[in-house]
Amino acid sequence: MKEQIRQQAINLGFSVCGFASAAPLDNLKKFYDGFLGEHRQAAMGYLERYAAQRLDPSLLLSGVKTVIAVLMNYYPPRLIPEEDNFILSKYAPAKRYPPFIKRRLEPLARFIATTGMDIRSKIYVDSGPVLEKAWAQRCGVGWQGKHTILINPKAGSYFYIGIILTTLDLEPDPAETDHCGSCSRCMDACPTGAIDRPYQLDISRCITYCTSVKNAVMPGEVLRNLKGRIYGCDICQDVCPYNRFATPTLETHFHPHEALFKMRRKDWLDLSREQFDLIFAGTSVEEKGYEHLMRNIMNVSLITSSLPTDSCPPPVPQGSAPGQQPS
């Protein structure tokens, strides 16, 4: 039965599928409590509000027996040029993934429901209080690297994670072990020092958090080190040796809009709302809004202009109109 479910997942477009017992993640409680105790969650208060549910899936689905983790590749078939350009994370131009992956998981959940009487399942994709990366590691589909992102040993880290909790009792797969060893490339490469210790992230100093979360405070140390990035980052992933195995996704849902390959710095500075709506329709960038992206563009433009290297202009406030100078 487990292999039938795994094959169904592959047929639905997932790269890999693994299984784990739904026993609570008690081994992570001390780590998680310490993370919250140091307020490393920044403004993401939900990480603390639902801490108990994140560690114990029985609080999300009564009678849960098995956790199923799947990975879906989003590595783009072409990379957007970075010369004379602002930089987007590889996930940013892709259409939003949670609803897409949920739709792919629904037939898998229906298949599971046919395997016995009163089998119940719940689907989670970047939603609900689920420690997706921890469960993916326990399911054997990867391990959480020193940059805190899940790494699959055969295909790298450019994956979205889907989770199914189910009352169907299945034999677990072996958990994946850590293969980072003494490598610290991700930590060394992070320009803001957000990965200030192995396997931990100071979210408030993460470029992805500061550029992609609405109303996120952008500290000066982040502003000075954006490295041209206007939405997301990828630096820690790009330097990871395991991403030499990354292959382009076949899912056109995640392919960037063709116009992005022609964009250069001047085009971004002149970006109209109509162009924004066309290029980013259905993406997380569109969800955050035109003003949010233009704020990021203005911040990067200001910091990379001919200013003394020891100075730093204040970030453009959230909601400022394009071209408006910070007050």
- The neighbouring-strand residues paired with 229 are 87
- Alpha helices (H) along 142-239: 185-189, 207-212, 220-223, 235-238
Single out the catalytic residue among 56, 126, 169, 238.
Answer: 126
Contacts of residue 56, defined as CB under 8 A and 6 or more positions apart, other chains included, come to 24, 25
Evaluate whether 202 touches 192 at the Cβ level (below 8 Å). no
Half-sphere exposure of 304 (CA within 13 A, CB side): 16
Do the bridges between strand 16-21 and strand 66-73 make them parallel or antiparallel, or are there none, so unpaired?
antiparallel
Token pair listed for 206: 């993460």
Angle between helices 2-11 and 97-113 (to 10 degrees): 150
26 is catalytic: no
Neighbours of 321 (CB within 10 A): 10
Write out the DSSP string of 93-131. TSBPHHHHHHHHHHHHHHHHHTTSTT--EEEESS-SS--
- The neighbouring-strand residues paired with 19 are 68
> Phi/psi class of residue 287: alpha, beta or left (left: φ > 0; alpha: ψ in -120 to 50)?
alpha
227/115 Cα distance (integer angstroms): 51
By three-state DSSP, how is residue 50 classified? coil
Catalytic residues: 126
